[in-house]
Amino acid sequence: MIRRLLLVAAAVLVAAACDKPGGETEKPAALGVPQNVVLHGATETSLTFQWKVVEGATGYAWKLTLDGALAKEGSATGRNVTVSGLSKGTTYGFSVCAVKGAEKSAYSTEISAKTEGKAGEEPPVAEAVCVDAPIVISFDSTPVLGTSGLIRILKADGTEVDRIDLADIATVDILSDGTMIPKGADADNGKIAINNDYVYNTFMDALHSGQYRVVHYTPLRVSARALEIKLHNEALDYGTTYTVKVDESVVGKAVEDITFTTKAKPSGDVVRVAADGSGDFCTVQGALSFVSANVGKDAAVTIEVANGTYRELLFLRNKNNVTIKGASRSGVVIAYPNNDSYETGSGGSTSSRPSAGRSIGKSGGRSLFLVESCDNLVLQDLTMENTYSIPSHKGQAEVIYFNSAHRLTVENCSLISWQDTFLCKGKVWVHNSLVAGHCDYIWGYPEVCLFEDCEIRSRAAGYIVQARVQSATNKGFVFLNCRLTAEDGVGSGKMYLARSAGQADCIDNVVYVNCSMDAVIRSEGWLGNPAPNPSTPTATSGWREYGSKGEGASSARNSYGKTLSTEEASIYCNRQDVLGW
């Protein structure tokens, strides 16, 4: 059973003044008294009433009594109303009057109505929800987002803990799937929406992990007869009751006084994530923020992610020994569109959460997952995809930026984008995984990055690697026993093994050992313009290969690459020799 927070929209209320029980009887007004008042439906906790329209009325006021005393009262714009929050198997009295401005009719003759169920049985208590659960509000028809109004989340004492301002919808474009991206983002004409000077608004989020990564996000999604509200990262606290208030201008109907309670804070060295709300968190970032704040820096912790699609950007900083383990590689999909034209640069974090209307200070960058200063991070059994969609696939868009001098392990994963899919530093082991892209889709500044038993899949013509290794003695990028493949439709001879950044302070250390190469690999192998550094490779530096096989293997490689001897290749033939761990 899906246990997401599901809230039903309250009826739009109309202020109206009518006589109260126990007061003086009001003289009949010109308005007619509502006729044909009937019980239209009943549940264990609600009663729905209907009556005939009164000519000239602009609204109606109603009252519900229990044993002759006022139990509830309210207003309605139409000729029906549902009264909720009632007791099972209980008989109530209902009457209604017509309203037009200050003018009002007498109340109708009271009718009796009984809720279903057995009296004395209390309705089930609403189950507590994750602190990062989406708020889903259902309507009678598909809601249409407005351009003004507030969505506010309040604590019991009235303190506002989060808000979404519909005026900020002017800063986004909405894709066909409902995802919101920075307005005007377009790599083809050079527009960049979010840079360091960009002004923070409520259609942006600040992901917290020691510091804050400022990103664009989708606070609202409209589906068939429902509005899904995604609150800002860490807006809510554990074990706390909140009230949702939605202005009428947001979707054409006001929602008030709907409450929910969050789950207690989790404990232990395993944290569970499930999109359906059955875990400790509904989002992966919710779990990352939690372990950063509540688990010691070097204490080992596993984040177990249930099968599902998680539409979010991620951030982890200064937390070691974290394992993010999916239930299955194909079943756990973390996906969101990001791009250099959405958020400029590889990005970074800032020490404080930006205030609305102030400069963000630092762009969170174009990657799906930004990692800063973490050691022994493990990604296992999941798929991560940067799903940006731009004509001709232009623009840098990493799946992961591992900005750390330490260790990263990627085991049995799929990492998919178009350009710059995988950016790393430090010591990295990618095993039994898929990395897909078409332009420099494996790149960066590693001490050593070993791809072992992996599929390296080209999605269009381009270049696999661009190495910017900082020392000639660092091994750089090593591909061991990998398969170099191509998507359907990509022709033969369309892909270079590597191209250089053309920077004198960067070393082009790349080596392929015992790799199977499909026909997509060009016979010359390496792009020589600009020339690599070193331009003449040695046994331990520059562009090299050994034991290549398949249609893409060739004896006609250009002089920028070197074929290693068996002895020269031996230092790249097992993980321990390559990585030292």
For residues 405 and 452, give the distance between their C-alpha atoms in angstroms, rounded to a whole number. 20
Q: Is residue 290 part of a domain?
A: no
Looking at the fold, whether 89 and 172 belong to one and the same domain comes out as: no
H or E segment and range at residue 151:
strand 150-155
If residue 577 lies in a helix (H) or strand (E), which one and from where to where? helix 575-579
State whether 573 and 452 are in the same domain. yes
> Where is the domain boundary, 81, 114, 147?
114
User: Which candidate, 505, 479, 483, 392, places its Cα nearest to that of 439?
Assistant: 392
What is the pLDDT at residue 19?
44
- Shared domain check, 562 and 448: yes
d(CA 452, CA 2) in angstroms, rounded, equals 39
Q: How far is CA 500 from CA 79, 170, 497, 517, 557, in A?
A: 73, 41, 11, 20, 16
Q: What is the pLDDT along the chain (581 residues), one digit of tens a residue?
A: 334 444 443 333 333 334 444 444 445 457 999 999 999 988 888 899 999 999 999 999 999 999 999 999 999 888 999 998 888 899 999 999 999 988 999 999 999 999 988 887 654 556 899 999 999 998 888 999 999 999 999 998 999 999 999 999 999 999 999 999 999 765 455 556 799 999 999 999 999 999 999 999 999 999 888 999 999 999 999 999 999 999 999 999 888 778 999 999 999 899 999 999 999 999 999 999 999 999 999 999 999 999 999 999 999 999 999 999 999 999 999 999 999 989 999 999 999 999 999 999 999 999 999 999 999 999 999 999 999 976 555 689 999 999 999 999 999 999 999 999 999 999 999 999 999 999 999 999 999 999 999 999 999 999 999 999 999 999 999 999 999 999 999 999 999 999 999 999 999 999 999 999 999 999 999 999 999 999 999 999 999 999 999 999 999 999 999 999 999 999 999 999 999 99
- My answer on whether 444 and 575 are in the same domain is yes
Q: Please check whether residues 438 and 506 belong to one and the same domain.
A: yes
The reported pLDDT for the residue numbered 126 is 67
Last residue of a domain, one of 217, 243, 260: 260
User: Do 108 and 139 share a domain, yes or no?
Assistant: no
Q: Are residues 85 and 154 in the same domain?
A: no
Residues 547 and 506 in one domain: yes
CA atoms of 105 and 19, how far apart (whole Å): 10
Q: Is residue 511 part of a domain?
A: yes
Question: Three-class SS of residue 149?
Answer: coil
Check if the beta carbon of residue 89 is closer than 8 Å to that of residue 118. yes
Residues 95 and 225 in one domain: no
Nearest to 129, CA basis, from 283, 262, 26, 278: 262
The reply to whether 155 falls in a domain is yes
Enclosing domain of residue 576: 427-581
* Alpha helices (H) in 101-254, listed in sequence order: 248-251
CA-based torsion, 477, 482, 488, 492: positive or negative:
positive
Closest CA to 209 of 380, 68, 373, 412: 373
Residue 54: give its domain's CATH number.
2.60.40.10
Whether residue 363 is contained in a domain is answered as no
Domain assignment present for residue 344? The answer is no
**Domain co-membership, 163 together with 94:** no
Identify whether 358 is part of a domain.
Answer: no
Nearest to 229 by CA among 163, 141, 304, 174: 163
Contact 452, 483 (CB under 8 A): no
Count how many domains the chain has. 3
Spatial separation of the C-alpha atoms in residues 276 and 428, rounded to whole Å: 33
In a domain, 367, yes or no: no
The verdict on residue 300 lying in a domain is no
Residue 45: φ, ψ to 5°: -130, 10
Q: What pLDDT does residue 9 have?
A: 39
Query: Residue 394 has what pLDDT?
Result: 67
Helices of type H across 268-414: 284-294
Q: What are phi and psi of 285, to 5 degrees?
A: -65, -35
Cβ neighbour number for residue 432 with a 10 Å cutoff:
13
Helix (H, G, I), strand (E, B) or coil at 254: coil
Both 97 and 144 in a single domain? no
Same domain as 202, residue 60 = no
What end-to-end distance do the CA atoms of the chain give, in Å?
44
A 10 A CB-CB count for 147 gives: 11
Q: What CATH number is given to the structural domain containing 547?
A: 2.160.20.10
Domain finish residue from 260, 292, 321: 260
Residue with tokens 């995988």: 422
